[in-house]
Structure 1
Amino acid sequence: MGFTEEHSRWVEDHISRRTGERRGRLERGHGHGERMFVEKVWWPMMGHFNDFHPEYEVADWRSKPYFVDFVWKPGQVKFAFEIKGYGPHVQNTDRTRYRQELNRETYLQIAGYRVVAIPYDDLEANPELTITLLRPLLMPYLALRAEEKMDFSRLERDILRIAVRSNGCIRPVDLVRELGIDLRTARKYMRSLCEKGKFNPVVSQVSGRVCRYEYVHSFRDIHLW
């Protein structure tokens, strides 16, 4: 299914689950700039709208409702995306409103959101630049999300912890000593973790056999332990 169909279905799904001002804000607020962002940046970069919310309501520091253009919430991570046009945000003559907008962005950071401003002009003239800037910012969290879905047994988690403590390099005999398992079991689980992309086998230049395993570091490291 292409962008037009998926986009319509995504918006309609959110509308159907909202009432009152939350619904009205989505119907009114998802305009040209927002659609251009999802069509020219988000869809080419992601290919889906999973965990992506348009006109997302949050409370500001005064407990008043505030709608962020987009919020992406993959797991415990929260990104807030705001489409910034030059006129409304730079030449704004309502200084009180301008200050409140800046204070809201600061408050979003306090509330745990990573706030990302998207220049409207780049969406029109150079969306590839926006993709280039966003990809290295977001991809680590996609990798983390993918690993969260990967099923590790208790013994595999113990092996991963040992690898981190050992500066990322272990031998099957290390597992025998630390975990009290036999050598055959150690080799079996190391092969399983290699298949899951968590280790790379290192072959001895002398014997031609696998002598140790190097841990493949990832952004999940700080969450796994």
Structure 2
Amino acid sequence: MKLIFEIKGYASQVRDMDRQKYCNELNRETFLHAMDFHVISFAYDDIEQRPDLCITLLRMMLSKYQPSHPPVSRAQLAEKEVIRLAIEQSRSLRPSYGGSRERIVRYELAREAIDYF
């Protein structure tokens, strides 16, 4: 998705606009739409005086583009956390079996696992 966020001031966008500037602005927006850009415009006054409104509107707009994933199983979550730990540690990991004498194996991070995230 291609997004453009614009903050427009009243003076430069409305008060000082003549017919030609108005036409140019509409043509620019149409061109951007044709190039698959989504333009999100906020008034400078709202950014300055009502930022909570802007945040709410932005969240509403962006929420429809968030992927909806099915619930993650505990096993998938644990696997991701082990991979995340291996990435952070930058070394192989060994499971702990407490005081037992079971054979201990080692887990090494395969580079393909990084793309798993």
Matched, 1:132 2:88: no
1:28-50 CA distance string (max 9 Å, x none): xxxxxxxxxxxxxxxxxxxxxxx
1:85 matched residue in structure 2 = 9
Give the alignment's TM-score, normalised by structure 1.
0.30
Tell me which amino acid in the other structure corresponds to 1:95: R
2:26 matched residue in structure 1 = 102
Report if the CA contact (8 A) 1:80-1:113 is conserved. Answer: yes
Structure number with higher relative contact order (C-alpha < 8 Å, ≥ 6 residues apart): 2
Alignment of 1:1-150 (within 5 A): 77-141=1-65, 143-144=66-67
Divergent runs of 4+, >6 A:
none
Q: 1:107 to 1:126 in 2, by over 3 A?
A: same
Higher strand share: 1
3-state DSSP class of the match of 1:138?
helix
Q: How far, CA to CA, are the matches of 1:132 and 1:193 in structure 2?
A: 28
1:189 matched residue in structure 2 = none
How many corresponding residue pairs? Answer: 76
Aligned CA RMSD, in angstroms, stands at 2.7
Unaligned runs of 5+ in 2: 78-117
Q: How far, CA to CA, are the matches of 2:42 and 2:72 in structure 1?
A: 39
Unaligned runs of 5+ in 1: 1-76, 148-159, 161-191, 198-225
Q: Which structure would you say has the larger Rg?
A: 2
Matched, 1:194 2:61: no
- 1:94 deviates by 3.6
Q: 1:193 to 1:101 in 2, by over 3 A?
A: same
Q: How far, CA to CA, are the matches of 1:93 and 1:112 in structure 2?
A: 26
Q: How far, CA to CA, are the matches of 1:115 and 1:139 in structure 2?
A: 16
Q: 1:140 to 1:86 in 2, by over 3 A?
A: same
- 1:106 deviates by 1.3
Q: 1:126 to 1:193 in 2, by over 3 A?
A: closer
1:122-154 CA distance string (max 9 Å, x none): 01111110001010211343x32x96xxxxxxx
- 1:110 deviates by 1.1
Q: How far, CA to CA, are the matches of 2:17 and 2:57 in structure 1?
A: 30
- 1:111 deviates by 0.9
Identical amino acids, percent of aligned pairs: 42
